[in-house]
Structure 1
């Protein structure tokens, strides 16, 4: 399948890269189809809308940056995604001009079921996690008041 992207122009993707987000992503509720594009030799991926070339999100595995990260996936979300065994957790990364100020959203992870290609951004209610944790350890952006 050929899709248009702002970052890479026309891009060939496989059907098995496409995830369906039945309710979209908060703020982008009408965008329901995304391609997961793993970035070579990197711990990052791009979640690219197949419907709108300018809508994409930089993702990473939050456990690579926060080894102690943990949460309970609500049963309703697990049922909606039909998760039994296989699950992939990603977090949205916001890259800043000063790279050391880049952040990761641990409050609302992207949950992916790689078996049926369903996805959802889940907001962790009653959580101490934030939408703007420092991406790299030792970064004190939150101690400085964040952005």
Structure 2
């Protein structure tokens, strides 16, 4: 873990208020990352680039949140992925993205209000069946 991977989350993450430092670790050649707690090796989150799965994903960052994160131009958006035993049930949380300022290395998970998103969007596009029955 190098210093340029460490992001401060001044308010922690929801449910993990005490955890304020995480390393953002990229997976090579994939739109995935790990957000690994610096102080608790057992705490990490699997993240994805929401735009890789939902190209039309959009929301407006409030002025207060932009100020809090000291965002002027560069911003990274990542969303938590919940991996299920059956890969087709894996989901991405588009309702509560993690907003990162790579210039200042600070971040925050925000909950979008009045947005058409929810916490469990399918990560895999739905496949049409050819014979009219579920599961092909």
Query: Residues 89-115 of structure 1: CA distance to partner in whole angstroms, max 9, x if unpaired?
Result: 000000000001000000000000000
1:135 equivalent to 2:123? Answer yes
Tell me the distance in 2 between the aligned counterparts of 1:137 and 1:73. Answer: 27
Of 103-112 and 127-136, the range deviating more from structure 2: 127-136
Runs of 4+ in 1 over 2 A off after TM superposition: none
- Identify the residue that residue 91 of structure 1 maps to in structure 2: 79
Which runs of no fewer than 5 residues in structure 2 stay unpaired?
128-136
Q: Aligned to 2:114, what secondary structure does the other structure show? A: coil
- Identify the residue that residue 80 of structure 1 maps to in structure 2: 68
Backbone CA RMSD of aligned residues: 1.2
Query: Residues 101-143 of structure 1: CA distance to partner in whole angstroms, max 9, x if unpaired?
Result: 000000000000000000000100111200000011117xxxx
Number of residue equivalences? 128
Tell me the distance in 2 between the aligned counterparts of 1:138 and 1:106. Answer: 17
| Displacement of 1:41 | 2.2
Query: Residues 43-83 of structure 1: CA distance to partner in whole angstroms, max 9, x if unpaired?
Result: 11000000111110000110000011000011111000000
Which runs of no fewer than 5 residues in structure 1 stay unpaired?
1-12, 140-147
Tell me the distance in 2 between the aligned counterparts of 1:99 and 1:39. Answer: 18
